[in-house]
Amino acid sequence: MTGSTSTGGRRGTLVAAATSVVLAVVGVGTVTLGVRGSEGPPAPTGSTPSSSTATSMPAPAALAPTASANTAPRFGRFLPASRPTVLDIPSIGVHSSAFVDLDVTPDGTMSVPATADQVGFYVGGPTPGQLGPAVIAAHVDSIQGPGVFYRLGAVEVGASVRVSRADGSVLRFVVDKVALYPKDRFPTEQVYRGTFDRAEIRLVTCGGTFDKVRHYLDNVVVFGHLLGIAKP
Amino acid sequence: MRKQSTFVGAAFGAVTLLALGAGPALASGSSVNANLMPIPGSGVRGSGTAMVAVSGTTITVTMAATGLLPNQPHAAHIHFGADARHECPVIGDDTNKDGHLTTSEGAPAYGPVVVSLTKTGDTSPASTLAIDRFDTAQGGTLSYERGSIKVSPAVATAITAGKAVVVIHGVDYNKDGKYSGSVKSDLNPALPTEATDPALCGALLAAPVGGMATGDGGAAGGVSPGLLALGGAALAAAAGTGVIASRRSRIAVR
Q: What pLDDT does B155 receive?
A: 97
A225 touches A196 (CB < 8 A): no
Chain B CA closest to residue A184 = B210
Nearest to A136 by CA among A116, A164, A112, A108: A112
Strand B76-79 versus strand B113-116 pairing type? antiparallel
Q: What pLDDT does A71 receive?
A: 64
Q: What pLDDT does B243 receive?
A: 38
- Tell me the average pLDDT of chain A: 79
**Residues B231, A68: C-beta atoms closer than 8 Å:** no
Which B residues, 92 through 131, put their C-beta within 8 Å of a C-beta on chain A?
119-120
pLDDT tens by residue, A46-79: 665 544 343 333 444 443 334 444 467 889 999 9
Q: How sure is the predictor about A44, in pLDDT bands with cuts at 50, 70 and 90?
A: confident
CA distance B30 to A196: 14
What is the mean predicted confidence (pLDDT) over A97-113? 92
Nearest to B225 among A143, A182, A209 (CB): A143
Pairs of residues, one from chain A and one from chain B, whose beta carbons lie less than 8 Å apart: 304
What is the mean predicted confidence (pLDDT) over A14-31? 45
Q: How sure is the predictor about A193, in pLDDT bands with cuts at 50, 70 and 90?
A: very high
A22 interaction partners in chain B (CB closer than 8 Å): 238
**Residues B216, A35: C-beta atoms closer than 8 Å:** no
DSSP assignments along B25-92, one per residue: HHHHSSEEEEEEEEPTTS----EEEEEEEEETTEEEEEEEEESSPTTSB--EEEE--TTS-SS---GG
How far does the CA of residue B231 sit from the closest CA of chain A (Å)? 4
A40 interaction partners in chain B (CB closer than 8 Å): 219-222
pLDDT tens by residue, B97-126: 999 999 999 999 999 999 999 999 999 999
Task: For A63, list phi and psi in degrees, rounded to 5.
Answer: -80, -20
Distance of CA B84 to the CA centre of its chain: 17
- Local structure of residue A104 (DSSP, 8 states): B
Helix (H) or strand (E) holding B251: helix B225-253
Task: For A172, list phi and psi in degrees, rounded to 5.
Answer: -110, 120
A212 interaction partners in chain B (CB closer than 8 Å): 223
CA distance A34 to A29: 8
* pTM of the predicted model as reported, rounded to 2 decimal places: 0.76
Q: How sure is the predictor about A13, in pLDDT bands with cuts at 50, 70 and 90?
A: very low
Model confidence at B238: pLDDT above 60: no
A173 touches A196 (CB < 8 A): no
Chain B CA closest to residue A215 = B216
B244 vs A211, higher pLDDT: A211
**Residues A13, B245: C-beta atoms closer than 8 Å:** yes
- According to DSSP, the residues that pair with B66 across neighbouring strands are B47
Q: What pLDDT does A46 receive?
A: 63
What is the mean predicted confidence (pLDDT) over B160-175? 97
Q: How sure is the predictor about A212, in pLDDT bands with cuts at 50, 70 and 90?
A: low
CA distance B248 to A214: 41
**Residues B28, A75: C-beta atoms closer than 8 Å:** no
**Residues B215, A140: C-beta atoms closer than 8 Å:** yes
pLDDT tens by residue, A125-175: 999 999 999 999 999 988 888 899 999 999 999 999 999 999 999 999 999
pLDDT tens by residue, B180-229: 999 999 999 999 999 999 999 999 999 998 888 777 777 876 544 444 44
Strand B31-38 versus strand B205-206 pairing type? antiparallel
CA distance B91 to B85: 14
pLDDT tens by residue, B3-54: 444 444 444 433 333 333 333 333 334 899 999 999 999 999 999 999 999 9
Residue type, B46: G
B62 interaction partners in chain A (CB closer than 8 Å): 62, 73, 131, 196-197
What is the mean predicted confidence (pLDDT) over A85-109? 95
Nearest to B53 among A27, A62, A214 (CB): A62
Model confidence at A4: pLDDT above 70: no
**Residues A79, B66: C-beta atoms closer than 8 Å:** yes
